[in-house]
Amino acid sequence: MVTGIETLSAAKELEEKITRFDIHQIIQHALLMVSFILLVVTGLPLKFHDFAISQWWTAAWGGIEATRFTHRFAAWVMVSVSVYHLLYLWYTINILKRPFPIKMVPGLQDFIKLAQELGYFMGLRKEMPRYDRFNWKEKFDYWAIFWGIPVMAGSGFIMMYPVLVTRFLPGWVVPTALIAHSDEAMLALIWIFMVHIFFNHFTPGVFPFNTSIFTGKVAGERYRREHPLEYERLLGISEQKEETDDESKSDAERNNETDSPDF
Amino acid sequence: MSQPPKQAGLELRRLLPFLAFGLVLTGSVLTLSATKVAGLDENNCLSCHDNPELIKTTADGKRISLHVSEEALSKGAHRYIDCTTCHTSEPHKTDTPLTKLSLAQKCGSCHQYQYKLHLESIHGQQLIQGNPDVATCIDCHSPVGNPHSVIRVLEYNAPTYKKNIAQTCGQCHGNEKLMANYGVVEKVYESYMRSFHGKAMQLGTYEVTQLDKATCTNCHGVHDIKSASDPTSPVAGLNNLANTCEQCHPNAGTNFASGFLGHKEASPENIPVAHYTEILFTTLLISVVSFGAIVVIMAIIRFSANKWRE
């Protein structure tokens, strides 16, 4: 997933745009977002069926049959995106021989930087922690989906085909699936709208709308602020004068370790 | 000089068909809206009984209203049946008021099959024993519990219209105090409305085509409704329950039926896995959301402070 290296020379010459996401990542995010929104708007009326607005909204879609169809359609889109992402990972690593995207893997550093970030918010520190390619929020979003989609798709499938499923599994899976589906959906919804949207669109420097996930490009100046460690490595001006080589895992790990004393 | 008036006449003549059409339209709208559907009243009973102040005092001093609202009667299912069909030939010698049982008997003089089923049902069995709590015909078939305003099942405002059935049953079965007398502790109405069947019913419109979802009567029966503990009830025991599920979910089987929470919340006794899953996911939800909220609030405060200092 690390594609920044390819734009290294470009970024050196032209300090304006840095390519952060490739076309596959842009498509995956777009499809995930559209299917997520469709799932939310057709799923919420079911959870809050008592509200008058739910009844009005369902009727506006053309009845519960229409919202159900849309919910199932969007669910298959979301599952397809997940499969696309896994295939993409496999393809880039095994066929294109790119390095395993080690920077997405969470570690102790993320907890330290989380504490540092909270310290900054509380006024205990003067600066935000210096992040590498992904900050802890981005990693949380990514891994939450790794947990969330199997839970949602699995429980959704059980409720979609309860007769088929209970031919192989005990009957209690159906009410259990409903509980898991409902709670996990609320968790995802609240997190996305409260944390994800806030930090990606409403923070200073990006407000009112952050286009990076839709265009794949980030202004160099902003990159320097938000992902200083990766930015410096891209430009070859890392304090340790480290090579910009992150092909090797051990180098990347060493990077992480040597980063810590700076804070 | 004669041209202009001639042309004006032509113009008027061209307007004539529209004028005629307009007249017919207005006339029909006025006529149709003015037509009042009147109940059949061959013996002019309503000339006295349409009076809200018509009251009779019985031997034991009870005052009973003898008022029959013409308006309600004209909207009822039986508006074309004369009063004496039910009130027989000598209505002034009839004992009033009817009991719940004698009322059912009266309805049963025409609706024989339904009457027979009702007498075999848990409601009918209790009626025979003189229990005044249970439902008789008008409790479900009239929106106000009055035999003169019984309305047909397919009218959208009928208590027996499919979308309204759960509310109708809920009048008694959602009444905790009343149900406690019969040892029914499950909140059947709330748990139905929480289930997918109830949600789909509530979110669907009043169109009949959107009402193919299960409501109380689909599982428990209609006039022949049985106590859930009666072994002949369609919901008694896993086998009966599975057969009932299969009416809508082909090949459901007992494994499928065993997943039904039985109008109860999941608990350590009732489908424990669902109960513990709920605890797990609620904990996860609350902790993650609180964490997110705290971070966002702290960030808002810090960013606002930065802005303010500038």
User: What amino acid is encoded at B243 in this protein?
Assistant: N
Say yes or no for a CB contact (<8 Å) between B266 and A45. Answer: no
Higher pLDDT, B63 or A188: A188
Contact A240, A258 (CB under 8 A): yes
Does the interface predicted TM-score (ipTM) exceed 0.90? Answer: no
Q: Across the strands, what pairs with B63? A: B57
Higher-pLDDT residue of A146 and A5 is A146
Confidence of residue A207 (pLDDT cuts 50, 70, 90): confident
The CA distance from A259 to the nearest CA of chain B, in Å, is 24
Band (B99; pLDDT cuts 50, 70, 90)? confident
* pLDDT of the residue at B34: 64
Q: Which 3 state secondary structure label does DSSP give B98?
A: coil
pLDDT band at B76 (very low <50, low <70, confident <90, very high): confident
Q: To which residue do tokens 């789909």 refer?
A: B200
The average pLDDT across B219-247 equals 93
Predicted pLDDT at A12: 53
Q: Does B273 touch chain A (CB under 8 A)?
A: yes
A203 vs B contacts (CB less than 8 Å)? 299, 303
The phi, psi pair for A218, rounded to 5°, reads -130, 140
Torsion of CA A15, A16, A20, A26, to 10 degrees: -160
Number of residue pairs across A and B with CB atoms under 8 Å? 127
CA distance A173 to chain B (A): 7
Structure letter (DSSP) for residue A156 = H
Supply the pLDDT for residue A8. 55
Sole residue written with tokens 């099942």: B153
pLDDT at B238: 92
Cis ω for the linkage preceding B97 (within 30 of 0): yes
Whether B59 and chain A come into contact, CB under 8 Å, resolves to no
Task: Please state, for a pLDDT cut of 70, what percent of chain B lies above it.
Answer: 94
Give how far A18 is from chain B: nearest CA, Å: 26
pLDDT at B90 over 90: no
| Chain A contacts in chain B segment 135-164 (CB below 8 A) | none
Percent of residues, chain A, with pLDDT higher than 90: 55
The answer to which of A60-74, B81-95, B270-284 has the lowest mean pLDDT is B81-95
Q: Write the residue in A58, A65, A195 that is nearest to B295 by C-beta.
A: A195
What is the Cα–Cα distance from B81 to B111, expressed in whole angstroms?
Answer: 14
| Residue A198 distance to chain B (closest CA, Å) | 7
Strand, helix or coil at B192? Answer: helix
What percentage of chain B carries pLDDT values higher than 90? 51
CB neighbour list of residue A49: distance below 8 Å, 6 or more residues apart:
A55, B193, B198, B199, B202, B203
Ranking A7-11, A60-64, A112-116, A206-210 by mean pLDDT, the lowest is A7-11
Q: Do A203 and B303 count as a contact with CB atoms less than 8 A apart?
A: yes
Instruction: List, in sequence order, every beta strand (DSSP E) within chain B.
Output: 55-57, 63-65
User: Does B211 touch chain A if contact means CB atoms closer than 8 Å?
Assistant: no
CA–CA distance, B109 with B224 (Å, rounded to integer): 18
Residue A183 in contact with partner chain B when CB distance is under 8 A:
yes
The total of other beta-carbon atoms located within 10 Å of residue A165's CB is: 21
* Burial of residue B274, with CB atoms counted within 10 A of its CB: 0-12 exposed, 13-18 middle, 19 or more buried: buried
Point out the residue among A50, A174, A195 whose CB comes nearest to the CB of B292: A195
Lowest mean pLDDT, pick from A125-129, A201-205, A209-213, A250-254: A250-254
Kind plus residue range of the DSSP H or E element containing A9: helix A8-13
Instruction: Report the pLDDT value the prediction gives residue B215, as an integer from 0 to 100.
Output: 95
Residue B10 has pLDDT above 70, yes or no: yes
B190 versus B96: the higher-pLDDT residue is B190
A164 touches chain B (CB under 8 A): no
What confidence score (pLDDT) does residue A239 get?
47
> Would you call B253 and A166 a contact, using CB atoms and an 8 Å cutoff?
yes
Minimal Cα distance from A183: which residue of B?
Answer: B281
What is the arithmetic mean of pLDDT over B203-232? 90
Tell whether B292 is within 8 A of chain A (Cβ). yes
Q: Do B202 and A55 touch (CB under 8 A)?
A: yes
pLDDT tens per residue, range A140-179:
999 999 999 999 999 999 999 999 999 999 999 999 999 9
* A7, pLDDT greater than 90: no
Q: How far apart are the first and last CA of chain B?
A: 87
Q: Is pLDDT of B33 > 90?
A: no
Q: Check residue A208 and report its DSSP letter.
A: T
- Name the helix (H) or strand (E) containing A19: strand A17-19
Q: Which of A56-60, A116-120, B42-46, B170-174 is the least confident region? A: B42-46
Q: Which residue has the higher pLDDT, B10 or B50?
A: B50
Partner-chain residue, chosen from A172, A174, A190, that has the shortest CB–CB distance to B289: A190
- What per-residue confidence (pLDDT) applies to B1? 47
pLDDT for the residue B160: 94
Q: What is the pLDDT of residues A85-126, one digit of tens each?
A: 999 999 999 999 888 888 888 989 899 999 999 999 988 888
Q: Of A64, A152, A161, which to mutate for an interface test with B (greatest number of B Cβ within 10 Å)? A: A64
Q: Is A49 on the interface with B (CB under 8 A)?
A: yes
